[in-house]
Amino acid sequence: ETGVTQSPTHLIKTRGQQVTLRCSSQSGHNTVSWYQQALGQGPQFIFQYYREEENGRGNFPPRFSGLQFPNYSSELNVNALELDDSALYLCASSRDRHTGELFFGEGSRLTVL
Amino acid sequence: GESVGLHLPTLSVQEGDNSIINCAYSNSASDYFIWYKQESGKGPQFIIDIRSNMDKRQGQRVTVLLNKTVKHLSLQIAATQPGDSAVYFCAEGGKLIFGQGTELSVKP
């Protein structure tokens, strides 16, 4: 158990719809990072939030957006869903933005039809 | 493009043997590397990290070696156990740029 929880665990959407994924970070952690993991691939960095502000972004279009709340929980929003957005979305929290020791949740499996 | 990559997509070892998983990186300015393990249906789990001012770091049954000259790092697992079966990723930097992963299978 990492103390990082994600919801929902599975969901199915259709092309063009919007989705919100949620993550609660481990107690004492102020940094949350989001990753997209396609089947058989390594996780791809989407973005990181540190103390409610975006602190770095990977190669994802603007329709991927996020928020971090004062309690350091976080949301990932994806607009105008495409078939290729089907993946496991992983959230990870860490004690600060410089460490590579991230604590991952078990992910939200998104299927876009 | 991808800046870290593992040499082999799969590795099969006998229980009790030592395992070595290799990773190469392309950016000579990279100064921080991390190894993660991902079991089926779970999120990645931190194993060990190393900074570029070190050549070697040891943990419990694991050792990471860093060769900056050839831009290569390896993860060694001693006395491999069935519970070590998973996909192993090397990653670079604090925001974790992951490679493709090596699937380790341990034969009883």
Place of tokens 């105008």: A80
**CB–CB contact A45 B96 (8 Å):** yes
| Residue B93, pLDDT score | 84
pLDDT digits (tens, 9 = 90+) for B42-66: 999 999 999 999 999 999 999 999 9
pLDDT digits (tens, 9 = 90+) for A79-92: 999 999 999 999 99
**CB–CB contact A92 B43 (8 Å):** yes
Model confidence at B19: pLDDT above 70: yes
B42: nearest CA in chain A? Answer: A106
Residues near B20 by Cβ (< 8 Å), separated by ≥ 6?
Answer: B74, B75, B76, B77
**DSSP string spanning B9-40?**
SEEEEETTS-EEEEEEE--TT--EEEEEEE-T
A45: nearest CA in chain B? Answer: B97
Model confidence band, residue B74 (pLDDT cutoffs 50, 70, 90): very high
**CB–CB contact A45 B89 (8 Å):** no
Please indicate if any CB of chain A lies within 8 Å of the CB of B5: no
B4-96 is classed in which CATH architecture? Sandwich (2.60)
Model confidence at B20: pLDDT above 80: yes
Tens of pLDDT, residue by residue, chain A (113 residues): 779 999 999 999 999 999 999 999 999 999 999 999 999 899 999 999 999 999 999 999 999 999 999 999 999 999 999 999 999 999 999 999 989 999 999 999 999 99
CB atoms closer than 10 angstroms to residue A16: 10
| Residue B1, pLDDT score | 46
Mean pLDDT of B84-108: 90
3-state class (DSSP) for residue A64: strand
| Residue A95, pLDDT score | 94
Q: Where are the alpha helices (DSSP H) in chain B?
A: none
Averaged confidence pLDDT in chain B = 92
Chain B nearest C-alpha distance from A79 (Å): 24
Chain A nearest C-alpha distance from B84 (Å): 17
pLDDT digits (tens, 9 = 90+) for B26-35: 888 889 999 9
**CB–CB contact A48 B95 (8 Å):** yes
Domain boundaries along the sequence of chain B: 4-96
Model confidence at B71: pLDDT above 90: yes
